[in-house]
Chains A and B, each alone.
Chain A
Amino acid sequence: ETGVTQTPRHLVMGMTNKKSLKCEQHLGHNAMYWYKQSAKKPLELMFVYNFKEQTENNSVPSRFSPECPNSSHLFLHLHTLQPEDSALYLCASSRREDYEQYFGPGTRLTVT
């Protein structure tokens, strides 16, 4: 068990839909991250939260909206996505003072 869970594991949505991805970490970490992995591209950092405060927004379009209600939970709200947003979305967590990040299994998103 990785200690970081993500739901749903698979999601198919139309361009006009609104959906949310959920991430939960059980490791007592205080930093959480959203990454996007597209085919044949490196993992791209999207957002970083430290102690529930957003510290990084890597020029992500506003159709992606993160929410971090506490140090254990992270959401990514999706609305009016484009087909090119289809990708694997990975959540990770870490202790703020450590480099090592621990990843969840990801949500495979398909936008039709």
Chain B
Amino acid sequence: DQQVKQNSPSLSVQEGRISILNCDYTNSMFDYFLWYKKYPAEGPTFLISISSIKDKNEDGRFTVFLNKSAKHLSLHIVPSQPGDSAVYFCAASNFGNEKLTFGTGTRLTIIP
């Protein structure tokens, strides 16, 4: 029973264009969402997060959108750069719970 789903295992985007990574969740108790980025032979690195009281959070080239009614969030990267090529994980948690529930990841490849 996977509570956090990333249905696209891979995505290729031209350099300079927008990358959109998607994540769906099933547990309505989740109220905090995070995106992590992982390079080969390294651990995941925290990228950006959003609380359920917001529908958008922006940090430089990265923006996360949350649609609570659809139980869907997305990560937008614009403009995409070659260094953005990595595996991106979506994760979710709820207040008072230190556990993070992760998706299976999406491998993003930026084409020069």
Interface residues of A (CB under 8 A from B): 2, 4, 6, 31, 33, 40-43, 45, 48, 50, 55-56, 90, 92, 94, 96, 99-106
Binds A, one of B13-21, B67-75, B76-84, B98-106: B98-106
A residues in contact with B44, CB < 8 Å: 43, 90, 103
Q: In chain B between 37 and 83, which residues have their CB closer than 8 angstroms to a CB of chain A?
A: 41-46, 49
B34 interface hit (Cβ, 8 Å): yes
Q: Are A40 and B49 touching (Cβ within 8 A)?
A: no
A residues in contact with B36, CB < 8 Å: 103
A residues in contact with B25, CB < 8 Å: none
A residues in contact with B85, CB < 8 Å: none
Nearest chain-A residue to B99 (Cβ)?
A45
Nearest chain-B residue to A41 (Cβ)?
B104
Q: Are A56 and B99 touching (Cβ within 8 A)?
A: yes
Q: Are B89 and A48 touching (Cβ within 8 A)?
A: no
A residues in contact with B89, CB < 8 Å: 42-43
Q: How large is the interface on B (under 10, 10 to 19, 20 to 34, 35 or more residues)?
A: 20 to 34
The 6 tightest CB contacts between A and B, nearest first, are A103-B43, A43-B102, A42-B102, A103-B44, A99-B32, A105-B43
B residues in contact with A6, CB < 8 Å: 43
Listed A/B pairs (22) with beta-carbon separation below 8 Å: A6-B43, A33-B98, A41-B104, A42-B89, A42-B101, A43-B44, A43-B100, A45-B100, A48-B98, A48-B99, A50-B98, A56-B98, A92-B43, A99-B34, A99-B49, A99-B93, A100-B34, A101-B100, A103-B43, A105-B41, A105-B43, A106-B42
Scan B1-37; emit 1 where CB is below 8 A from any A CB, else 0.
0101000000000000000000000000000101010
